[in-house]
């Protein structure tokens, strides 16, 4: 177990319960945590930027794409 709570193998790679490598140690930050995610513009990924892009039509219950989401 790493300091960040991830299951790791003997060399420090993050693994799942079956021992399969899920994140190489070289990709982790120095403290063993996952790095931040980045979008195509090189900016830090913000979950708020995509919330509300998909919505459900109140009449048909169809899931629709909103091309201009309102970011709060």
pLDDT (tens digit, 9 = 90+) per residue, 3-25? 888 999 999 999 999 999 998 99
The pLDDT score that the predictor gives to residue 71 is 53
Q: Give all strands (DSSP E) within the chain, no chain letters.
A: 14-15, 21-23, 54-56, 63-65
Task: Please report which helix (H) or strand (E) contains residue 44, including its range.
Answer: none
The pLDDT score that the predictor gives to residue 21 is 93
Percent of the chain beyond pLDDT 90? 22
The pLDDT score that the predictor gives to residue 20 is 94
**The token pair that represents 47 in the structure block:** 């979950």
Percent of the chain beyond pLDDT 70? 74
Cross-strand pairs, 14: 8, 23
Q: What is the pTM of this model?
A: 0.52
Q: Are the CB atoms for 8 and 19 separated by under 8 Å? A: no
59 conformational bin, left if phi > 0, alpha if psi -120 to 50, beta if neither: alpha
């Amino acid at each position: 177990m790493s300091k960040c709570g991830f299951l790791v193998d003997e060399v420090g790679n993050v693994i799942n319960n079956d021992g399969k490598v899920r994140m190489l140690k070289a990709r982790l930050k120095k403290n063993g945590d996952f790095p931040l995610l980045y979008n195509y513009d090189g900016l830090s990924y913000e979950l708020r930027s995509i919330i509300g892009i998909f919505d459900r039509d109140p009449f048909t219950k169809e899931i629709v794409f909103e091309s201009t989401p309102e970011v709060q």
